[in-house]
């Protein structure tokens, strides 16, 4: 049995650069989509000093199965899969690779915005079916339109910057942002914000306070024919309300990269909604971000495990 301290990776792989950073530790890989019971069993078997979170949820029961656990390090920025309150109560540090996937997610958000505005998916399908829609199709031109961003962290700020190249007006709703980027206008009332935005893009973390913030009430406040894009967290949206708004024509399109229940398997609510684009929570996954997230998560582990002065939970 190895004498090295153990780092449990809740996934089947990790960037080589990150593995190299953790060469003094034994890495145990939990495999794809590990269950809570599987994670508990691995913690009981290996007693890791750190958990590097790629997939699955880190619950209080998982933490209790690893008495040596010092840090839970997220391979990415979203920590809603970690029971932070339980970690704090147990003196376990929580770290996130903040900003490591900002470029990838912001690019994916724009890919979805453009796919919606230009009807890329249905045009491709119809052309393959033998239809030539040049004389009947009209796409949505983004120049002069208003982009509304909910959340102005590293990702939202990058999305705002790119909007300038399209000649769009940018509004931001973020009660927690101290400043807004140049060329971006803050709107403090959500109803006023939604009424003005031609495109609404979500870039905020999921919290108990904002869960289901996109619901029947807020969707009714949206500008008629607006586009909604979510590359943040599925829990921000009331699925039934959004499906109704799309089917009823209140919204032009929606594009979703994150879902209330993952992995999304059939049957699901979106199967018969024609004006929604789906992607399997891959916005933050690119060749470069895979390395950046892995090395940032590894660095966060080393900082806590090797530095006894690290006593405060930080994200």
Task: Calculate mean pLDDT across residues 134-143.
Answer: 96
93 and 29 together in one domain: yes
65 and 154 together in one domain: no
Number of domains the chain is built from: 2
With respect to residue 173, please indicate whether it lies within any of the assigned structural domains. yes
* Distance of alpha carbon 51 from alpha carbon 38, whole angstroms: 14
pTM of the predicted model as reported, rounded to 2 decimal places: 0.91
182 and 302 together in one domain: no
Domain span at 190? 102-278
The answer on pLDDT for 313 being more than 90 is no
Q: In sequence order, what E strands does the chain have? A: 6-9, 26-29, 50-53, 71-74, 93-96, 146-150, 169-173, 184-186, 199-202, 226-230, 251-256, 276-278
| Residues with catalytic function | 233, 262, 281
93 and 177 together in one domain: no
pLDDT over 90 for what percent of the chain? Answer: 94
136 and 25 together in one domain: no
Which tens digits make up the pLDDT trace of 268-289? Answer: 999 999 999 999 999 999 999 9
68 beta partners: none
The structure tokens listed for 66 are 């690893």
With respect to residue 13, please indicate whether it lies within any of the assigned structural domains. yes
* Distance of alpha carbon 59 from alpha carbon 70, whole angstroms: 15
The edge-to-edge listing of strands for the beta sheet with 226-230 is 184-186, 169-173, 146-150, 199-202, 226-230, 251-256, 276-278
With respect to residue 1, please indicate whether it lies within any of the assigned structural domains. no
CATH code: domain of residue 231: 3.40.50.720
The edge-to-edge listing of strands for the beta sheet with 71-74 is 26-29, 6-9, 50-53, 71-74, 93-96
Longest dimension (CA), the chain: 71
Work out the end-to-end distance of the chain between its first and last CA atoms, rounded to an integer number of angstroms: 33
Residues 145, 168: contact at Cβ < 8 Å? yes
84 and 132 together in one domain: no
Q: Other C-beta atoms within 10 Å of 157: how many?
A: 21
Q: Other C-beta atoms within 10 Å of 27: how many?
A: 17
Quick one: pLDDT at residue 248? 98
The answer on pLDDT for 183 being more than 80 is yes
DSSP state of 214: B
113 and 197 together in one domain: yes
107 and 249 together in one domain: yes
* Distance of alpha carbon 297 from alpha carbon 141, whole angstroms: 40
Quick one: pLDDT at residue 65? 99
55 and 182 together in one domain: no
188 and 70 together in one domain: no
For residue 307, name the pLDDT band (cuts at 50, 70, 90): confident
Which tens digits make up the pLDDT trace of 184-226? Answer: 999 999 999 999 999 999 999 999 999 999 999 999 999 999 9
188 and 264 together in one domain: yes
Residues 255, 281: contact at Cβ < 8 Å? no
Which of 68, 61, 64 has its CA nearest to residue 46? 68
* Distance of alpha carbon 275 from alpha carbon 272, whole angstroms: 9
115 and 236 together in one domain: yes
For residue 3, name the pLDDT band (cuts at 50, 70, 90): confident
């Amino acid at each position: 049995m190895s004498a090295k301290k153990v780092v449990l990776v809740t996934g089947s792989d990790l960037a080589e650069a990150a593995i190299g950073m953790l060469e003094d530790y034994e890495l145990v890989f939990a495999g794809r989509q590990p269950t809570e019971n599987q994670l508990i069993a691995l913690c009981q078997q290996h007693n890791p000093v750190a958990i590097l979170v790629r997939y699955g949820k880190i619950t209080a029961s998982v933490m209790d199965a690893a008495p040596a656990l010092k840090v839970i390090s997220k391979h990415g920025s979203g920590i809603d899969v970690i029971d932070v309150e339980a970690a704090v109560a147990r003196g376990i540090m929580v770290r996130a690779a903040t900003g490591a996937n900002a470029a990838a997610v912001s690019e994916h958000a724009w890919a979805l915005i453009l796919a919606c505005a230009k009807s890329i998916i249905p045009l491709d399908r119809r052309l393959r079916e033998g239809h030539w829609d040049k004389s009947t199709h009209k796409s949505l031109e983004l120049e002069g339109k208003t982009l509304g961003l909910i959340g102005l962290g590293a990702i939202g700020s990058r999305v705002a910057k790119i909007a300038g190249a399209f000649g769009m007006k940018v509004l931001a709703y973020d009660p927690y942002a101290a400043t807004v980027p140049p060329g971006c206008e803050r709107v403090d009332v959500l109803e006023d914000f939604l009424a003005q935005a031609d495109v609404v893009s979500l870039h905020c973390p999921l919290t108990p306070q904002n869960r289901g913030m996109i619901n029947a009430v807020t969707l009714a406040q949206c500008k008629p024919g607006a586009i909604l894009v979510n590359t943040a967290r599925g829990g921000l949206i009331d699925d039934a309300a959004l499906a109704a708004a799309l089917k009823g024509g209140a919204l032009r399109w929606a594009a979703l990269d994150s879902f209330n229940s993952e992995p999304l398997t059939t049957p699901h609510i979106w199967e018969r909604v024609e004006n929604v684009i789906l992607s399997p929570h891959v916005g933050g996954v690119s060749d470069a971000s895979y390395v950046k997230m892995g090395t940032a998560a590894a660095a966060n582990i080393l900082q806590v495990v090797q530095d006894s002065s690290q006593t405060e939970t930080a994200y």
